[in-house]
Amino acid sequence: MKKLVLGLYAIATVALMIWGFYQAMYVAPDDALQGYIFRIIYYHVPSASVAFVFFAVSLFGSIGYLTFRRGNHDRAQIADAWALAGAEVGVVFCTVVLLTGPIWGRRAWGIWWTWDARLTTTLVLWLIYVSYLLLRRFAAGPQMQTLAAVLGVFGALDVPIVYMSNRWWRTQHPAPVFGGDPGSGMKDPAMLAAFGWNMLAWFAWGIFVLILRYNVERKHQQYAEQEAEEALAANL
Amino acid sequence: MSQADILDHQFVTAAYIITWVLQLGYLAWLGLKWRSEKRNAEQRQKRG
């Protein structure tokens, strides 16, 4: 039953991705100022939104782990698996943002990169979560999960700074298309529809990958626990 | 089609390809990790 639901969800996600691609490339008009290159927005911005939400998942997972680690082992492990899944899938989406942004910038601004507030804070956010994943990969011992959870909590503090950066400091990156000054937002209904479909499609894809990553981590935890129990029994 | 239009098209295509290479590459890595965990569990069951 679980496999059937996941399979149906995967099919719906692929259908949404195809529809989103069609809307972005063939239905939405060119931007009046930037022309065709503006279409990068249909996967650059949704990828950033998914990354932010998944870093929030990692934050709540980390808080959950720190809350339950002494009292409820199972809940703590579940929370830790969500924290890891959120951080890892968030890094994948954040990498997409950091790679597609410069491609857009090269055509729109004439430069690949600049140390502007939005770009720099996003790079710092990516570095924080890459260090979180490296800590989980290479640190050993029972304190690893606790250290990772603390880093997960502090790392998430950069998310609101990234979100607000192009509101607080007006540098190279454009002002927010949504939620910015009065009058901001897409005016063309076809552009708005393409943006909405792509947002939905990328969130559907992100959730699909997040659930897979969570399940892989739970399996890994269960295997590691059984191994530890067997080793303990052999020593007794 | 002007030179600028061709460049815009190439840049948009490149960004889309990079996005999907990353996403599908990660999905493939997850699949391999899943298979490895499954194999470990099967081997443990055989031993046990």
Tokens representing residue A166 in the block: 């192009």
The confidence score (pLDDT) of residue A12 equals 96
Closest Cα of chain B to A160: distance in Å? Answer: 24
- The residue among B2, B24, B26, B39 with the most chain A CBs within 10 A of its CB, best to mutate, is B26
ipTM above 0.90, yes or no: yes
The number of folded domains in chain A is: 1
Low-confidence ranges of chain A (pLDDT < 50): none
| Residue-range definition of the domain harbouring residue A157 | 2-175+182-235
Tens-digit pLDDT profile for residues A72-101: 999 999 999 999 999 999 999 999 999 999
pLDDT band with cut points at 50, 70 and 90 for residue B37: confident
Long-range contacts of range A127-136, CB-CB < 8 Å, 24 or more positions apart? A128/A154, A128/A155, A128/A158, A129/A55, A129/A58, A129/A87, A129/A90, A129/A91, A129/A94, A129/A155, A130/A91, A132/A58, A132/A87, A133/A87, A133/A88, A133/A91, A136/A84
Does A220 contact chain B (CB < 8 Å)? Answer: yes
- Report CB contact under 8 Å: B34, A36: no
Tell me the CATH number at A116.
1.20.120
H helix count then E strand count, chain B: 1, 0
What percent of chain B lies above the pLDDT cut of 70? Answer: 98
The confidence score (pLDDT) of residue A201 equals 97
Tens-digit pLDDT profile for residues A182-211: 666 677 899 999 999 999 999 999 999 999
